[in-house]
Structure 1
Amino acid sequence: MEKKMDIGMVGMAVMGSNLALNMADHGFDVACYNYTPDLTEKVLREHPHKHMHGFFNLQEFVDSLQKPRRIMLLIMAGEPVDSMIEQLTPLLEPGDIILDGGNSYFGDTRRRQTKLQQAGIHYFGVGISGGENGARRGPCIMPGGDKEAYEFVRPVYEAVAAKADGQPCCSYIGPDGAGHYVKMVHNGIEYADMQLIAEAYLLLKYAGGYSNRQIAEIVHQWNQGELRSFLIGITADIFAEDDDAGGQLLDKIVDSAGQKGTGRWTSIEALRQGVNISLITAACNARVMSNLLSERQELGRIIQPACAETKIDGDFVEMVRQSLYLGKIAAYAQGFALYRSADVHYGWQLDLGQIAAIFRAGCIIQADFLNRITAAFTASPQLDNLLQDTFFAGKVNENLAALRQTVASAVQLGIPVPALACAVEYIDALRGTPLGANLIQAQRDYFGAHTFKRIDKEGSFHHEWQKNF
């Protein structure tokens, strides 16, 4: 009898082919299928592997798998996923497992899981981070679905995942859409992290007057300390990269950034849940503004530049470094506050310490200080906000003055730093200062009789406001 395959991979583009090769390297027999046969043929021709086998008929692909069948989809999110599910469902049996490893919206994952559950098929939303290299050498994996069925896929995922301190950067996240939700917010944090680094670049170059080469050295030094992370590391490389045509490549790239939607989904979901993730939203808006190239050029000729230069005292590079670090803390605090809210809202029982632990390697937001986040939520699993942790509260107090000075200087110089500015506002709002909400509630009661609460009495009150002017 012909040996059955351990797992099937649908989608032989960059992510699917590299993850399939990763699985094959770990001794798993992988059945490969793509709706266009030429892509499967190309991958097998360029990367022949004794544990990878191509199939060009969906029925034959399904029949090649051992039961319960484990089929992973790494295809474009949206309608292509629904289409593939419709094709696969009649070929599967109760107990079989479909694993969506794309960047699907978690609400779609919940819908698909409910529908497939009626047919006895297990459906998982699997967040995967790390890009092409991560898929090939070890990604961060965030599976969400039926906990008992997860045992059938756990050995594969834990084998191929990145390792941090010897532990796989893969953990069962929770039921239905939890895995894709955690990946979505991971990407939102990634947006904020990248925007903060971009703002530090603007400050160093246009306020500090440093060249790209000098910034490369500065950022490289930052990567030796508490800012050490994947993004900081690649950023140092980017500043040092020469262009074949002369000069440096960064200066030749158009000042416009794209986005695939996960950051926007994160902002929308935060509004639904009533959670402040202002840094993530600011990062999304910054990308939107970056695409207004013609409008920005026109308004640059109309609107006057900053009215005056500002004098910056002290070690400017260190001031920016401290600001970037504190901005990063605020961004992660907001992302994990959204996880906490989702845990309550959807009843997923998310382990925030474990989520932080699997982010320590393999993924785009991997950073040394995730060890501190892991420790904070391990010590206090019900921690509402990361800034309540002793270590992070201490870092706020240590770096807040630098962040204030950095943002104030940027405003005076006309350098846009929306994420850093949101970090200051977020911290100030959390530290108990008046927010003016008493006035807003009075206005709501004045025009809409929405009532208000008093500091000196229990209950809700409405006042018959007088027209005094």
Structure 2
Amino acid sequence: MDVALIGLGKMGLGIAENLSQKEGYQLSGMDLNQKVKSEFEKQHGAFYSNVDALFSEKKSRRIVWIMLPAGETTNNMIKACCEKLVMGDIIIDAGNSKYLDSKLNFDYCQTQGIHFLDVGTSGGMEGARNGACMMVGGEELIFKELEGLFADLCVENGYLYCGSAGSGHYLKMVHNGIEYGIMQSIGEGFNVLYHSPYDYQLGEVAKVFNHGSVIRSWLMELTENLFKETADFSAIAGVIPSSGEGKWTVEEALRLNLAIPVITQSLMTRYSSSDNEKINEKVIALLRNQFGGHAFVKEE
């Protein structure tokens, strides 16, 4: 099976490493970053820096695996690929695209005679290399044709055909919303432990939580790791970037008139962490001073 990988970042390279360990795959790769060229060519296959070069050779039934930033970058790449592919070829968007974009990309590919699957990918870099979890949307016949590919890339029972176009990325969107909420709870819980009157060794706490407790999980394993690796939290800026899926989950819940307070609060916490000016808090502090003469703290 010929698989062209577009986007050789940490996840894309992980997928390449995964497939290179399996039989029956001929890989090629494309990325604008020339720094990955030698590594990819040495271990996986031919490397190209643009779409024209990537598709210059005629091959039967191309599989194009895209892992690029969501939005315009991915959408434009899909259109660029459609110009070079032939009827019956398959594009797989395995990034974190918005499900509405995936529905539009599916429709566009259909007009070009190209098949399209949207694949939500979970498991991080470790999963990409050694066995991921994947949620697949699009034509069921195309999924069945490529089911062996997903079986090779995923852990046992680690892939699911979800339904029509967009369903894979919709499920990954909600997955990431759940992830936001779980991480928020872990952070809050360890914040209480950190400020408690007891001298807890937080790495050991995470370790014992992960052995037989109700809240054991991979995220708790990572929590144990981070406390072992990070001795000085004062050197870490408490800024939590938001990659988009949490926001999309909240937007979808609002569209459906559903209450999801935990996921919503986790998103608001991320926004608040990035607000260096803290106008919200300053206005409240000054309002308390206005109506009650309450003291406020001045910046030093």
TM-score range, shorter chain: 0.7 to 0.9
Task: Give, as a single letter, the amino acid of the residue that structure 1 aligns with 2:223.
Answer: T
Q: Give the corresponding residue for 1:158.
A: 151
1:9 partnered with 2:5:
yes
Correspondence for 1:196 among 168, 176, 185: 185
Q: Give the corresponding residue for 1:251.
A: 234
> How far apart are the structure 1 equivalents of 2:31 and 2:217?
37
Residues 31 and 64, structure 1, Cα contact 8 Å, conserved in 2 = no
Q: Give the corresponding residue for 1:408.
A: none
> How far apart are the structure 1 equivalents of 2:52 and 2:237?
46
Shift of 1:223: 0.8
Task: Map residues 129-278 of structure 1 onto 2, 5 A cutoff.
Answer: 129-162=122-155, 167-206=156-195, 208-211=196-199, 214-225=201-212, 226-242=214-230, 248-278=231-261
Residues 125 and 177, structure 1, Cα contact 8 Å, conserved in 2 = yes
Shift of 1:241: 2.6
Could you give the per-residue CA deviations for residues 354-391 of structure 1, whole angstroms, max 9, x where no partner exists? xxxxxxxxxxxxxxxxxxxxxxxxxxxxxxxxxxxxxx
1:21 partnered with 2:14:
no
Task: Give, as a single letter, the amino acid of the residue that structure 1 aligns with 2:164.
Answer: P
Alpha-carbon spacing, 1:285–1:56, altered in 2? closer, same or farther (3 Å): closer
Q: Give the corresponding residue for 2:65.
A: 72
Count of aligned residue pairs for this structure pair: 286
What is the RMSD computed on CA atoms of the aligned residues? Answer: 2.5
Could you give the per-residue CA deviations for residues 127-148 of structure 1, whole angstroms, max 9, x where no partner exists? 1112222111111111111000
Shift of 1:113: 0.6
Could you give the per-residue CA deviations for residues 280-303 of structure 1, whole angstroms, max 9, x where no partner exists? 001001111222334289749948
- Say which one has the larger Rg: 1
Residues 8 and 65, structure 1, Cα contact 8 Å, conserved in 2 = no
> How far apart are the structure 1 equivalents of 2:88 and 2:96?
24
Task: Give, as a single letter, the amino acid of the residue that structure 1 aligns with 2:258.
Answer: V
Shift of 1:108: 0.4
Residues 239 and 250, structure 1, Cα contact 8 Å, conserved in 2 = no
Residues 31 and 48, structure 2, Cα contact 8 Å, conserved in 1 = no
SS for the counterpart of 2:162 is coil
> How far apart are the structure 1 equivalents of 2:233 and 2:222?
13
Gaps of 5+ in 2: 287-300
> How far apart are the structure 1 equivalents of 2:54 and 2:184?
43
> How far apart are the structure 1 equivalents of 2:69 and 2:126?
19
More strand by share: 2
> How far apart are the structure 2 equivalents of 1:144 and 1:67?
23
Shift of 1:12: 1.4
Shift of 1:209: 2.7
Task: Give, as a single letter, the amino acid of the residue that structure 1 aligns with 2:186.
Answer: I
TM-score, structure 1 as length reference: 0.57
Alpha-carbon spacing, 1:195–1:57, altered in 2? closer, same or farther (3 Å): closer
Task: Map residues 233-382 of structure 1 onto 2, 5 A cutoff.
Answer: 233-242=221-230, 248-295=231-278, 299=282, 302=285
Residues 30 and 50, structure 2, Cα contact 8 Å, conserved in 1 = no
Alpha-carbon spacing, 1:77–1:28, altered in 2? closer, same or farther (3 Å): farther
Could you give the per-residue CA deviations for residues 380-421 of structure 1, whole angstroms, max 9, x where no partner exists? xxxxxxxxxxxxxxxxxxxxxxxxxxxxxxxxxxxxxxxxxx
Task: Give, as a single letter, the amino acid of the residue that structure 1 aligns with 2:201.
Answer: Q
Percent identity over the alignment is: 31
Gaps of 5+ in 1: 243-247, 304-469
Could you give the per-residue CA deviations for residues 154-183 of structure 1, whole angstroms, max 9, x where no partner exists? 111111212xxxx33012111100000000
> How far apart are the structure 1 equivalents of 2:217 and 2:57?
42
TM-score, structure 2 as length reference: 0.87
Alpha-carbon spacing, 1:34–1:186, altered in 2? closer, same or farther (3 Å): same
